[in-house]
Chain A
Amino acid sequence: NAGVMQNPRHLVRRRGQEARLRCSPMKGHSHVYWYRQLPEEGLKFMVYLQKENIIDESGMPKERFSAEFPKEGPSILRIQQVVRGDSAAYFCASSPGDCCFGPGTRLTVT
Chain B
Amino acid sequence: GIQVEQSPPDLILQEGANSTLRCNFSDSVNNLQWFHQNPWGQLINLFYIPSGTKQNGRLSATTVATERYSLLYISSSQTTDSGVYFCAGIIKAAGNKLTFGGGTRVLVKP
Residues of A whose CB lies within 8 Å of any CB of B are 33, 35, 41-45, 48, 55-56, 58-59, 89, 91, 93, 96-99, 101, 103-104, 106
Number of interface residues, chain B, beta carbon within 8 A: 20
- Tally of contacts, chain A with chain B, CB under 8 A: 54
Main SS of the interface on chain A? strand
Residues of B within 8 A of A44 (CB): 100
Which 10 A-B residue pairings sit nearest by Cβ, starting from the closest?
A: A98-B48, A42-B100, A43-B100, A45-B97, A42-B102, A101-B43, A97-B31, A96-B96, A42-B103, A56-B95
Partner of A97, one of B43, B48, B102, B103: B48
Q: Which DSSP category, helix, strand, loop or mixed, fits chain B's interface?
A: strand
Are B42 and A48 in contact, CB atoms less than 8 angstroms apart? no
